[in-house]
Each structure stands twice: as structure tokens, then as C-alpha cells.
């Protein structure tokens, strides 16, 4: 592959993000939750945050924009790949950007290295990807993250820094909550880089952070995952209450028909604590107790 003035045929990983944005002809629109990552150094580092043993055979990107990260992902799946390179699928909801990606990376499309799916990542059928690397639209970060996490694949995702800090928080910390328990149920979650506003164009109003999610099975037993996540959600709506009162007050959310029976069966020391002090294994044990004694129904 050789560089050219249009970008077509350029060696993957070498495209200038500002030049890509100019060629796209359409600026990112912050009112549509679009902020292009334009710092070459950050872009170059992001694919390297995948776990060392991650399978890069089929990388998924959510929100390709003008293709700066897409370019780096194509470099990752073709580097030292020999006759059997990987591939990248980009999901892009903006029609103009989707069309531009197909034009800019026409060679990759023709070679079977790239597929561009036009549509909302919350609605389209996702391919059977091996890992996901993406600068997510911040307005729907939570919804997309919790569509991806149950897939149990390695994820490297850009979030607002505050959201990222809540994902990685531990029990007892002020940022700890439903998001922390739910994310850590699926994966080891860590912030691998903090990214300033100046790395984006247009600049967002907040700092950002890159989060790595390495899938693993939890070290506790959950008999009904949907109920467990619903139960966690319910108790954190009453985070300032004791666990005793949180269980009693949220049966309509968790689906418990007999919350008082759960209170009667639980340990007194546990009932006197606040939800924000319970680590994921403690939540899991309490959720199993609730399933056994509280007669949960579907919500």
C-alpha cells in the first residue's frame, strides 16, 4: 500500500485525523454526540490496550466517524498477519460518515478487511466479533456498554471520565454504585489512559478516559443473572438507606413479592449496612437469598 493525496490506498495506521476530517467534508456535530478523537498519539495507543492474548481476528468499532480509529484498527488486524489477516466491522449511524468510510477505505472493503454497517449500535445486529475497540457516543455509553459486556469479549472503550471512574469504583467509594457492580460482574475493569478535552475536535465539555474490560467469570454464583442485575439496580435507588429498608422499599423494582421474608432470612449485620458498602460477592449472596425467600416474579 502506498500513500496518496486522497487517502485511498494509504498504508493503514498512517492517516492524519485532521486530513480525514477535511476529506469527510462534514464536521462532527456535538449536538449529535459527535466528537472526533484527533490526537495521533492517543489514537496510536488505543489498539495496544487490548489484552495481550486477545483475539484480533474480528474487531468491532462503534461510531467510526471520519475513520481515524478505523485506520488504526485496520493496521492492527493486518500487521504481521501473513496470508490470513483479521477484519474490522464499523457501526456508524450517520449516513454521510458511513458513505465516507466506504469511500475512504474502499480498498479494505474490496479485500474483505472492512465492513461498514450503517445504523444505530443499539438496534442493529452486531456481528460475532472477537473484541471491540471504540470511542463511544457519550450520550448512550451505558446502553452500548451493557450491550457489549454480556458478550464476554475484550473491550477497549472511551468514556466520559466520570462514567469510567464509576465503572472501576470499589465498594465504599463515593463513585461506587449500580454501574460498578454490573460492569465488574462481567469483567475486570480498569482505566488505562485519561484523555484531555484537547484531544478531540470539537472539544467535549468533560475529560475522557479509556477503559479496558477483560472478560472473566465472577468468583460467586448467580442463579438468575437478570434478577441479580435488577436487584442491584433496585437497592441502589435507596443507597442512603440501610439494606433492610432498601429491600423492603424496592420490591416493585426488583420483583420481590415477599421482601419482608428476605429481611427475616438475612443476617442482621448485613441488614444494617448501606448498599454502597456491599461488594459484588455480597450483592450476589443477598440476591440468591432474595430468590430463595422473596418469591421474585418477572418485572
pLDDT at 142 over 50: yes
Q: What is the pLDDT of residues 52-70, one digit of tens each?
A: 999 999 999 999 999 999 9
Run of H or E residues at 135: strand 131-135
Alpha carbon 88 to chain centroid distance?
A: 17
pLDDT of residue 199: 95
- Tell me the average pLDDT across 241-260: 96
37 annotated as a binding-site residue? yes
59 annotated as a binding-site residue? no
Residue 229 banded pLDDT, cuts 50, 70, 90? very high
Residues 158, 208 contacting (CB under 8 angstroms): yes
92 annotated as a binding-site residue? yes
Q: What is the pLDDT of residues 97-122, one digit of tens each?
A: 999 999 999 999 999 999 999 999 99
Same structural domain, 165 and 244: no
pLDDT of residue 168: 98
pLDDT at 292 over 90: yes
C-alpha cell read off for 148: 457489549
pLDDT at 2 over 50: no
pLDDT of residue 8: 47
Q: What is the pLDDT of residues 144-178, one digit of tens each?
A: 999 999 999 999 999 999 999 999 999 999 999 99
Residue 195 banded pLDDT, cuts 50, 70, 90? very high
pLDDT at 276 over 60: yes
Q: What is the pLDDT of residues 82-101, one digit of tens each?
A: 667 899 999 999 999 999 99
pLDDT of residue 31: 65
pLDDT of residue 36: 86
CA dist., res. 265 & res. 230, Å (int): 20
* Contacts within 8 Å (CB) and 24+ apart, 29-36: 30/202, 30/204, 32/94, 33/137, 33/138, 33/139, 33/140, 34/63, 34/65, 34/94, 34/137, 35/135, 35/138, 35/200, 35/201, 35/202, 35/203, 35/204, 36/65, 36/66, 36/68, 36/200, 36/201, 36/202
Same structural domain, 115 and 135: yes
135 annotated as a binding-site residue? yes
What is the domain range of residue 168? 17-215
Structural domain count, the chain:
2
Same structural domain, 199 and 235: no
Same structural domain, 231 and 210: no
Q: Is residue 136 part of a domain?
A: yes
The CA distances from residue 39 to 18, 174, 176, 237, in Å, are 9, 31, 31, 39
Around Cβ 75, how many Cβ atoms within 10 Å? 17
- Among 185, 215, 245, the domain boundary falls at 215
Same structural domain, 114 and 180: yes
Same structural domain, 172 and 259: no
Same structural domain, 54 and 178: yes
Q: What's the CATH number where 285 sits?
A: 1.10.8
Amino acid at each position: 500500500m502506498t500513500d496518496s493525496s486522497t487517502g485511498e490506498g494509504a498504508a493503514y495506521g498512517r492517516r492524519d485525523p485532521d486530513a480525514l476530517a477535511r476529506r469527510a467534508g462534514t464536521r462532527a456535530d456535538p449536538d449529535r454526540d459527535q466528537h472526533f478523537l484527533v490526537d495521533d498519539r492517543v489514537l496510536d495507543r488505543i489498539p495496544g490496550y487490548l489484552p495481550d492474548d486477545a483475539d484480533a481476528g474480528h474487531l468491532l468499532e462503534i461510531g467510526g466517524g471520519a475513520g481515524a480509529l478505523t485506520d488504526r484498527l485496520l493496521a492492527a488486524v493486518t500487521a504481521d498477519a501473513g496470508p490470513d489477516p483479521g477484519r474490522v466491522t464499523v457501526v456508524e449511524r450517520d449516513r454521510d460518515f458511513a458513505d465516507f468510510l466506504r469511500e475512504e477505505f474502499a480498498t479494505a472493503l474490496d479485500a474483505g478487511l472492512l465492513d461498514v454497517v450503517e445504523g444505530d449500535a443499539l438496534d442493529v445486529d452486531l456481528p460475532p466479533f472477537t473484541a471491540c475497540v471504540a470511542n463511544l457516543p457519550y450520550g448512550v455509553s451505558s446502553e452500548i456498554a451493557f450491550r457489549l459486556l454480556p458478550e464476554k469479549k475484550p473491550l477497549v472503550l472511551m468514556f466520559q471520565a466520570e462514567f469510567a471512574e464509576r465503572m472501576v469504583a470499589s465498594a465504599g467509594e463515593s463513585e461506587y454504585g449500580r454501574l460498578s457492580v454490573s460492569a465488574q460482574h462481567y469483567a475486570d475493569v480498569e482505566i488505562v489512559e485519561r484523555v484531555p478535552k484537547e484531544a478531540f475536535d470539537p472539544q467535549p465539555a468533560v475529560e475522557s478516559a479509556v477503559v479496558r474490560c477483560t472478560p472473566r467469570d465472577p468468583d460467586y454464583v448467580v442463579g438468575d443473572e437478570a434478577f441479580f442485575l435488577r436487584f442491584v439496580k433496585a437497592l441502589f435507588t435507596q443507597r442512603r438507606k440501610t439494606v433492610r429498608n432498601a429491600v423492603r422499599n424496592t420490591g416493585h423494582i426488583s420483583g420481590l413479592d415477599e421482601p419482608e421474608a428476605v429481611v427475616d432470612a438475612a443476617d442482621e449485620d448485613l441488614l444494617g449496612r448501606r448498599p454502597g458498602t456491599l461488594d459484588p460477592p455480597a450483592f450476589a449472596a443477598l440476591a440468591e437469598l432474595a430468590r430463595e425467600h422473596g418469591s421474585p416474579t418477572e418485572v
